A and B are shown apart, each in its own frame.
Chain A
Amino acid sequence: MPKEILVVDDNKYAQMAFVYALKGTEYVVHTAGSGLEALEKAKGQRFDLVFLDLKMPEMDGVETLRRLREQCPDLPVYIVTAYEHEFMQRLREAAADGLSFQLAGKPLDDGQILAAVRGILEGPQPH
């Protein structure tokens, strides 16, 4: 069964990056343009990995992470960020509250996206 990946970002180009990076691979990519849409989709089906942007209107990434964790406590989440100051403190708080996530810095190219995906879903890769 193919592994399902959810990309959450309000920017369509950022979504595009993941779609193209993983097109033709064994992974199926779904996209959500907001935190709310992501939570809806996660309720409807099972995902194996989520790429989550922080800076989104209405519900930002940290808030989305918290709610997502309530629904799916074991779902691996990769936060994709430009390390904006405004989010770092709240992310630290989330981590302190026991919410797990990985961090990846923007911009990500196809190699980095694939490596991130394989790293989480296939276990440690040989260097």
Chain B
Amino acid sequence: MAEQPSNEQLKQQLAEAHEVIRALQRGEVDAIISQRDIALVRLRATEEALRKLTAELEERVRDRTRQLEDTNRRLGKAMDELKTAQVRVLEAERVTALAALAAAIAHEVNSPLMGVLNAVAYVRRNQHDPRFEQALQDADEGLRHIADITRNLLSLSRPAGRQGVRAEVDAVLGRAVGFLEADFQARGIRLEQQIPVGLPPVAVDEVRLQQVFTNLLTNARDALEQSAEKVIRIAASQQNHQVSVVVEDTGPGVPEAVRNRLFEPFFTTKPGRGTGLGLPVSKSLLEDQGGDLILDSGYERGARFVVTLPMAKD
């Protein structure tokens, strides 16, 4: 039950009522509208303003979030590029270190090699027993082959491009093949070559080109380990301003899952034996000089790599 208003309160209320009546008499209709309604209108206006503000804030937050996501994505990309660059530097350092190691070994091997080579040559020159003729010839040939290898290894460690960048593809291929011929034969691998006469020289460093061919040939050799048919085919051709060299094998080919990782540094399908550097290094060596190395994924009967080389400007 409501309390009875006091006299004071009554007087107050009467005064307010008088005010309203006077206002009405003056024609001020607004006075009829109760304070409560005014408050309600104000409240609604405030709610509306608040709603608008909230929507605005949400929009701003969404915008800012989008910006941040964008920046994040860009940062991620930059980090990936940095990692790739780092790997490339490490690769280059490692290749240099490997080349230096190979050269150091070649140096050490040279002297005893010279000794043995000449000792055998001496015996061969002076002995006449036919039973030993073949063995001495084989020893002699083997030693001269080793001498070729050490000479090759030593040339790898010399800085590239000292005499202007130019190479004869057939000569370089010949050297790379010569390196591996005996090995192929021992493994029963047949090598088929289609290298036309008169291929134009290419604007690629000889030593690096030989490195690339050697890499492709040893990969082909390794791929044929379990194969029944062991054939490696090399074909060279000229198209416009490029010379292409194709190296293919009759091995199991490159499985789909592995195809786009082939040129990834340190990725290897020969754990414990492969360095995982051959293909990525070969590819970047070539790209550096305007060439390229790709896997022909359309080839079904094994693995097929295509090297493209820019022609030398005369």
Contact = CB atoms under 8 A, between A and B. Distances in A.
Residue from the set A17, A82, A105 with the largest chain B CB neighbour count within 10 Å: A17
A46 interface: no
A82 B110 contact: yes
Interface string A2-16: 000000010111111
Contacts of A78: none
Interface in B12-28: none
Interface string B118-148: 1101100110000000000000000010010
A107 B121 contact: no
Contacts of A13: 111-116
A109 B111 contact: no
A16 B115 contact: yes
Given A11-B111, A82-B154, A106-B110, A24 B117 contact: no
B107 interface: yes
Interface in A79-124: 82-84, 105-110, 113
A14 B114 contact: yes
Given A107-B110, A107-B147, A109-B147, A21 B115 contact: no
B121 A109 contact: yes
Contact of A20 (B121, B144, B147, B158): B121
Residue from the set A16, A19, A24 with the largest chain B CB neighbour count within 10 Å: A16
Nearest to A106: B110
A17 B118 contact: yes
Contacts of A24: 122, 125-126
A107 B122 contact: no
B119 A16 contact: yes
A83 to B, nearest CB: 8
A71 to B, nearest CB: 26
Contacts of A12: 115
Nearest to B109: A107
B107 A17 contact: no
B210 interface: no
Contacts of B125: 24, 110
B143 to A, nearest CB: 8
5 contacts: A9-B111, A17-B115, A17-B118, A82-B110, A109-B114
Given A17-B118, A24-B125, 19 more contacts: A13-B112, A13-B115, A14-B111, A14-B114, A14-B115, A16-B119, A17-B111, A17-B114, A20-B122, A23-B122, A24-B122, A82-B106, A83-B154, A106-B110, A106-B114, A109-B114, A109-B117, A109-B147, A110-B118
9 tightest CB-CB pairs across the interface, nearest first? A13-B115, A17-B114, A16-B115, A20-B118, A20-B122, A13-B112, A110-B121, A11-B111, A17-B118
Interface of A: 9, 11-21, 23-24, 82-84, 105-110, 113
